[in-house]
Amino acid sequence: NAGVTQTPKFQVLKTGQSMTLQCAQDMNHNSMYWYRQDPGMGLRLIYYSASEGTTDKGEVPNGYNVSRLNKREFSLRLESAAPSQTSVYFCASKRGGFNQPQHFGDGTRLSIL
Amino acid sequence: KNQVEQSPQSLIILEGKNCTLQCNYTVSPFSNLRWYKQDTGRGPVSLTIMTFSENTKSNGRYTATLDADTKQSSLHITASQLSDSASYICVVSMNSGGYQKVTFGTGTKLQVIP
């Protein structure tokens, strides 16, 4: 059972470069999420997709864009990376229903120099 | 402001000992509270969920409690093992216009030593 798969696992970028973080889930979940995790802070929601074809901003969307490519895949793009975007990025997916848990990938560790 | 605060920030215990982690929240209206375990270098994994009407729920050696009146939850770990070394994150959900909004605590980092 793969669950939620994120690629790449590690990445180093220079300020101003762009890149796309990939996320895929094989659990047929409708909802998908992108979070960032920084030291001393709880996970913060960047963008989410409640269903295929829809995306909405979360708590910290500035500097990011997303694409819900199909039901399985949800990508996060940094158009012009900044040092403040150095973080660990987690993708999650969830079945419908308020009491269902989110299933997380193992993260992408991104450093921007 | 909706907040979730966890204590202690970090904890070191001897293998075999018990420990209790705390979570206080101000999230309203409350939907549910979930505890996640996050191993180093991995994503969080759900341990247990508490809804408004539940006071206690166990998952093996993990027991979560909820006091919805005082907006407090605890996670008790019994007979700790080395594999319990991880961060434990308290997450509180609220219903916001038909959408579930989730607030994460900053976690308690537990280290179990031999």
Give the pLDDT confidence of A27-77 residue by residue, as tens digits.
999 999 999 999 988 999 999 999 998 999 999 999 999 999 899 999 999
Q: Do A106 and B105 touch (CB under 8 A)?
A: no
Q: Do B42 and A99 touch (CB under 8 A)?
A: no
d(CA B67, CA B94): 16
* Minimum CA–CA partner of A39 in chain B: B106
d(CA B109, CA B114): 17
Q: Do B46 and A40 touch (CB under 8 A)?
A: no
pLDDT digits (tens, 9 = 90+) for B15-30: 999 999 999 999 888 8
Task: Output the six-digit token pair for A98.
Answer: 């308020």
The pLDDT of residue B98 is: 66
* Minimum CA–CA partner of B32 in chain A: A99
